[in-house]
Amino acid sequence: MTALATVLLWATATHPTLVDAGTFSVSAALVIAGAIGVIVARNPVHSALMLIMTLFGVAVLFLLLQDPFLAVVQVIVYAGAIVVMFLFVIMFLGVDREENLGAEKLRGQRPTSVILAAASLAGLLILGFVGHWTLGAPHVAGPDTGAPNVNLLGQSLFTTYLFPFEATAALLIIAVVGAVALARRPGGEQKVVDAAPGPLAPELDPASRFVVTPPAPGGNEDAEPSGPGNQNGGDGS
């Protein structure tokens, strides 16, 4: 990534227009193709991979906008953490099968959504290029003086934006606690066992993996009938 940044910066210094335009058009094409791919892919795994393509394109655009720190964070946090978490949940739930895109439960949903999305795109473009808006006071956080990006970001993050920074820390902790509370199995005493009769069970219904059985009458945890591969209680979610 640093090498890419160096090459980009050098190229921008020597051949500005062509390299900039080329990089922008290639990464914009990647971004749009990935976004379309997320929508039209039938398999959620393919959607996640297309999302990675979009995120990489946006990271290159961040480099082009001279935000190398944000580009790196984009790749590490988004592509490296969030999308991997998506993939993990997809595999964990076993929903990586094809979705029937043709079925439409709500009649007229597709045309309405296309119209709504087109209207919002038109509104955004009109707002951006035709409307005369006033921008608020710039330089609230101090001007971007050309010092190294990370220094500037850190300085303004820990001085001007200290309270929002702490608030996001609290938000992250709340989100983690909330996710644990949501995803843990209800009823601490109960034990989840695999509903399969044995290791030879063919093609389980995905829901049957989560059948909750009451605790054993004796209260002894090891009294459950446990064939090989039968016990499922230990895995976290």
| Binding residues for another protein restricted to 117-146, rule: CB under 8 A | 117-118, 120-121, 124-125, 128-129, 135, 138-144
Residue 37 identity (one-letter amino acid): G
Residue 13 lies near another protein (rule: CB under 8 A): no
If binding is defined by CB under 8 A, does position 159 make contact with another protein? Answer: no
Pairing of strands 191-192, 212-213: antiparallel
CB of 187 to another protein, least distance (A): 12
Q: What is the DSSP letter of 74?
A: I
**Alpha-helical segments (H) within 41-132:** 44-64, 68-73, 83-93, 109-129
Burial of 34 (0-12, 13-18, 19+ CB in 10 A): buried
> Which 18-77 residues touch another protein, going by CB under 8 A?
20-21, 24, 28, 31-32, 35-36, 38-39, 44, 47-48, 51, 54-55, 58, 61-62, 64-67, 69-70, 73-74, 77
Stretch that binds another protein, among 3-11, 164-172, 193-201, 220-228 (CB under 8 A): 164-172
Tokens 């394109």: give the residue.
57
- Based on CB atoms, which residue is closest to another protein, 92 or 198? 92
Q: How far apart are CA 45 and CA 90, in angstroms?
A: 7
Looking at beta carbons only, is 67 or 224 nearer to another protein?
Answer: 67
**Cα-only R_g, the chain:** 25
Among 91, 95, 201, 223, which residue sits at the site for another protein (rule: CB under 8 A)?
95
Q: Counting contacts by CB under 8 A, is residue 231 touching another protein?
A: no
For 75, phi and psi rounded to 5 degrees? -70, -45
Is 232 a binding residue for another protein by CB under 8 A? The answer is: no
